[in-house]
């Protein structure tokens, strides 16, 4: 009988689907049901408690998303886990894993404080992989945290997920902002403000370069650079190049490099040419890491606070907050500028 595992009180103010969830949790804690046990069928529960199929399905889908139960087509539902204190099972989709994403991830996990399980996936800027990961994991989690990168058609993929369970991280766009909460970076505004805040240091140089390969780099970085250049057209020469390969560096130039490999190349070439970094040659790297505090006596960076980003994200997910939070970004001054 279903009543051995589930209970529903008609006079309770608690929604019936929540009563089903809570009563299963109680049965697990009492030892009335074990991992691998088959649960009563949806039809049996509907009949015993006079419930609609939709009510039972809502409860079962939520339990599946939390990883408590699983379903076998044609056979039924089974108990998958006896961990009932975790209300959150999180799908976390990054584009890639690097040093600053590790800072973000660690901050997020620490801020969750053991109140959730997290499965992390990577799409590596591949739209097909992005789509497959979303489709294959729909309905399995209580929250979906997505880094959509520059995918212009991300919404057409994400809209298959329950809207109230989706959170956007890092890059977003106008369409996604209409539908989903986010902790994000405004790359255009951040680039412009960071360069503007460093005017006193930039004035020692004659030409400014942005190394912008395109591809995975946010377009806002280039737009912010162009906006800054247009407002200071009489103070420096400006150029945007896709690569440092074959490029000859000169004295009195400053380079903004989103890619860490380009940062290393500049440090090496400065040494080979006996240029003093921070005087003869300026370097501004994107995204701060502890290593950049010590490379070449300190590399100046334009960076958001990845520690704070992880904390804000965890708070949003655990609290069910639905807001758009633009994470702060600043120019971190070091000797390379």
How does pLDDT run across 152-161, given as a tens digit for each residue? Answer: 899 999 999 9
| pLDDT at residue 1, as a whole number | 61
Phi, psi of 204 (to 5 degrees): -75, -10
Q: How confident is the model at residue 336 (pLDDT cuts 50, 70, 90)?
A: very high
Q: How confident is the model at residue 84 (pLDDT cuts 50, 70, 90)?
A: low
- Inform me whether the pLDDT recorded for 233 exceeds 90: no
* Number of domains forming the structure of the chain: 3
- Note whether 199 and 291 are same-domain residues: yes
- Note whether 283 and 293 are same-domain residues: yes
| pLDDT at residue 209, as a whole number | 96
Largest CA distance in the chain: 83
- Note whether 208 and 285 are same-domain residues: yes
Last residue of a domain, one of 36, 54, 79: 79
> 209: domain CATH number?
3.40.50.2300
Q: Tell me 291's DSSP state.
A: G
Q: How confident is the model at residue 86 (pLDDT cuts 50, 70, 90)?
A: low
Tell me how many degrees the CA angle 180-183-185 measures, rounded to the nearest 5.
115
pTM: 0.79
Q: Tell me 292's DSSP state.
A: G
CA 8 to chain centroid: 39
Question: CA 130 to CA 264: how far, in whole Å?
Answer: 31
Domain limits for position 105: 88-185+306-328
Alpha helices (H) along the chain: 16-30, 42-49, 53-65, 99-112, 127-137, 154-158, 174-179, 187-197, 199-202, 219-231, 260-272, 306-319
Residue 200 lies in a domain: yes
Given a contact cutoff of 8 angstroms between Cβ atoms, the answer to whether 34 and 40 are in contact is: no
- Note whether 267 and 135 are same-domain residues: no
- Inform me whether the pLDDT recorded for 109 exceeds 80: yes
- Note whether 144 and 239 are same-domain residues: no
- Note whether 314 and 298 are same-domain residues: no
| pLDDT at residue 135, as a whole number | 93
- Mean of the pLDDT values across residues 261-278? 95
Question: CA 178 to CA 17: how far, in whole Å?
Answer: 30
Q: How confident is the model over 19-73, as pLDDT tens digits? A: 898 889 888 878 889 999 999 999 999 999 999 999 999 999 889 888 889 999 8
Residue 337 lies in a domain: no
| pLDDT at residue 85, as a whole number | 64
Structure tokens at 192: 């412009």
- Inform me whether the pLDDT recorded for 267 exceeds 90: yes
- Note whether 22 and 10 are same-domain residues: yes
Question: CA 299 to CA 276: how far, in whole Å?
Answer: 13
Given a contact cutoff of 8 angstroms between Cβ atoms, the answer to whether 21 and 59 are in contact is: yes
What is the DSSP track for 131-181?
HHHHHHHTTS-SEEEE--TT-TTHHHHHTTS-GGGEEEEE---HHHHHH--
- Note whether 315 and 170 are same-domain residues: yes
- Note whether 27 and 130 are same-domain residues: no
Q: Which helix (H) or strand (E) holds 326?
A: strand 324-326
- Note whether 191 and 298 are same-domain residues: yes
Q: How confident is the model at residue 282 (pLDDT cuts 50, 70, 90)?
A: very high
Last residue of a domain, one of 59, 79, 99: 79
Least confident of 82-86, 231-235, 303-307: 82-86
Residue 154 lies in a domain: yes
> 13: domain CATH number?
1.10.10.10
Q: Which of 325, 329, 335 is nearest to 192 (CA)?
A: 329
Residue 334 lies in a domain: no
Last residue of a domain, one of 47, 79, 111: 79
Residue 72 lies in a domain: yes
Cβ contacts of 193 within 8 Å, gap of 6 or more: 329
Question: CA 4 to CA 146: how far, in whole Å?
Answer: 40
Q: Which helix (H) or strand (E) holds 70?
A: strand 69-72
Residue 180 lies in a domain: yes
Residue 333 lies in a domain: no
Residue 20 lies in a domain: yes
Q: How confident is the model at residue 260 (pLDDT cuts 50, 70, 90)?
A: very high
Q: What does the mean pLDDT of the chain come to?
A: 92
- Note whether 36 and 131 are same-domain residues: no
- Inform me whether the pLDDT recorded for 337 exceeds 90: yes
| pLDDT at residue 9, as a whole number | 86
Given a contact cutoff of 8 angstroms between Cβ atoms, the answer to whether 321 and 183 are in contact is: no
Q: How confident is the model at residue 171 (pLDDT cuts 50, 70, 90)?
A: very high
- Inform me whether the pLDDT recorded for 13 exceeds 80: no
Q: How confident is the model over 118-132, as pLDDT tens digits? A: 999 999 999 999 999
Q: How far is CA 158 from CA 64, 124, 134, 163, 168, in A?
A: 19, 17, 7, 8, 10
- Inform me whether the pLDDT recorded for 220 exceeds 70: yes
- Note whether 163 and 312 are same-domain residues: yes
Q: How confident is the model over 289-318, as pLDDT tens digits? A: 999 999 999 999 999 999 999 999 999 999
């Amino acid at each position: 009988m279903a009543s051995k595992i589930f209970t529903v009180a008609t006079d309770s103010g608690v929604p019936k689907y929540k009563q089903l969830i809570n009563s299963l949790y109680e049965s697990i804690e009492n030892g009335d049901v074990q991992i691998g046990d088959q649960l009563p069928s949806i039809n049996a529960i509907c009949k015993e408690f006079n419930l609609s199929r939709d009510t039972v399905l809502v409860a079962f889908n939520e339990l599946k998303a939390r990883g408590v139960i699983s379903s076998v087509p044609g056979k039924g539902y089974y108990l998958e886990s006896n961990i009932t204190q975790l209300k959150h099972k999180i799908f976390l989709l990054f584009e890639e894993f690097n040093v600053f994403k590790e800072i973000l991830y660690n901050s997020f996990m620490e801020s969750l404080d053991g109140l959730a399980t997290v499965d992390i996936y990577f799409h590596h800027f591949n739209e097909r992989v992005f789509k497959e990961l979303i489709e294959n994991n729909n309905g399995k989690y209580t929250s979906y945290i997505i880094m959509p990168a520059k995918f212009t058609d991300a919404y057409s993929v994400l809209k298959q997920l329950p809207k109230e369970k989706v959170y956007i991280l890092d890059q977003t766009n106008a369409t996604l902002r209409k539908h989903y909460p986010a902790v994000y970076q405004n790359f255009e505004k951040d680039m412009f403000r960071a360069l503007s805040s460093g005017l006193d240091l930039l004035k020692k140089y004659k030409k400014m370069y942005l190394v912008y390969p395109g591809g995975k780099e946010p377009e806002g970085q280039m737009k912010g650079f162009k906006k800054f250049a247009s407002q200071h057209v009489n103070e420096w020469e400006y150029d945007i190049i896709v690569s440092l390969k074959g490029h000859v560096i000169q004295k009195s130039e400053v380079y903004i490099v989103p890619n860490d490999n380009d940062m290393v190349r500049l440090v090496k070439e400065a040494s080979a040419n006996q240029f003093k970094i921070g005087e003869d040659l300026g370097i501004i790297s994107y995204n701060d890491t502890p290593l950049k505090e010590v490379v070449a006596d300190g590399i100046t960076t334009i960076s958001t606070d990845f520690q704070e980003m992880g904390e804000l994200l965890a708070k949003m997910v655990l609290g069910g907050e639905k807001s758009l939070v633009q994470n702060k970004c600043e120019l971190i001054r070091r000797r390379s500028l």
